[in-house]
Amino acid sequence: MKILTVIPTQREIKAFLAACQARGYEAKTVVVGKLEVTYLPMLDTVVAAGGLGKTQFAVQTQHLLDGGQWDVAICAGAAGALVDDLAIGDVVIATETVEHDMRNRFGTPRQPRFSAAGHMLEHCRQTLQTVPAFCVHYGPIASGDEDVVEGERRAAIHASTGALVVAWEGAGGARASQFSGVPFIEIRGVTDSADGTAARDFALHVSQAMQNVAHVVLCVAGWGGMDYRAS
């Protein structure tokens, strides 16, 4: 299975790759189109920067998709929790990515929803088994170019989308993948509670969250050495 894993920022990528290398996966720098990326040959997986925000992420994901033949595209990154029963470091695998910040004023309000590839969800559920390292949750992920740092806004996004977490770039990756006909799934690690301490908490926990995301992606890509609590 040839996997394209696109991660928004270099800070997130650094923690993700550190987890891969700690497990002995060789990493090579290669070029796809105009972009320098990291290739994990044992997993036939490319890890690439997508950039911050939905638009930049969509542009770079589309460029990467055009530059190879991919079995699946993954948007991987950090996220803020929209519900109280998520812990720092938990991982959410999106059943769908919901674009929450299209605030049209004409006609019916729009919240585009992009379903995760069904076979990938099933693969995740079969591959990620139950046990104590951290929790893996399945549910919607909200996507919008907005730092959510207030309780009222946090509650509003959850109420309108049903999402477990919120992040920026997922809808951009989903749109590019849909356009290219490549199966897509979003995987996010919880760094904060999308509240007044979100900026501080993100800085404190992004490394832990991205290492956990890496464990999940590695497991999905073929590494079976770790179990998880699923919910």
Tens digit of pLDDT for each residue in 97-152? 999 999 887 877 789 999 999 999 999 998 887 555 799 999 999 999 999 999 99
pLDDT value, residue 106: 85
Note the pLDDT of residue 104.
Answer: 80
Range of the domain at 100: 3-230
Mean pLDDT of the chain: 93
Radius of gyration of the chain (CA): 16
> What is the pLDDT at residue 230?
52
> According to the model, what pLDDT value does residue 144 have?
98
Residue 181 φ/ψ region, left for φ over 0, alpha for ψ in the -120 to 50 degree band, beta for the rest: left
* Average of per-residue pLDDT across 150-174: 97
Please state, as a whole number, how many other Cβ atoms lie within 10 Å of the Cβ of residue 148. 26
**Helices 118-127 & 198-221 angle (0-180, nearest 10):** 90
The answer to whether residue 227 scores a pLDDT higher than 50 is no
Q: Is the pLDDT of residue 92 over 60?
A: yes
- Please give the tally of structural domains in the chain: 1
* Percentage of residues in the chain having pLDDT higher than 70: 94
Instruction: Answer whether residue 224 shows pLDDT above 60.
Output: no
| pLDDT (0 to 100) of residue 212 | 95
Q: Is the pLDDT of residue 225 over 70?
A: no
Mean pLDDT of 54-81: 98
Quick one: average pLDDT of 89-93?
A: 97
Residue 97's CATH number: 3.40.50.1580
What pLDDT, on a 0 to 100 scale, did the predictor assign at position 67? 96
What does the pLDDT look like over 169-190, one tens digit per residue?
999 999 999 999 999 999 999 9
Please tell me the distance from the alpha carbon of residue 99 to that of residue 166, in angstroms, as a whole number. 10
Given this model, what pLDDT does residue 228 score? Answer: 45
In the chain, pLDDT over 90 holds for what percent of residues? 85
Residue 96 three-state SS: strand
Residue 75 confidence (pLDDT) above 50? yes
Q: Which of 161, 218, 159 is nearest to 187 (CA)?
A: 218
pLDDT at 222: 80
pLDDT of residue 223: 54
pLDDT at 103 (0 to 100): 81
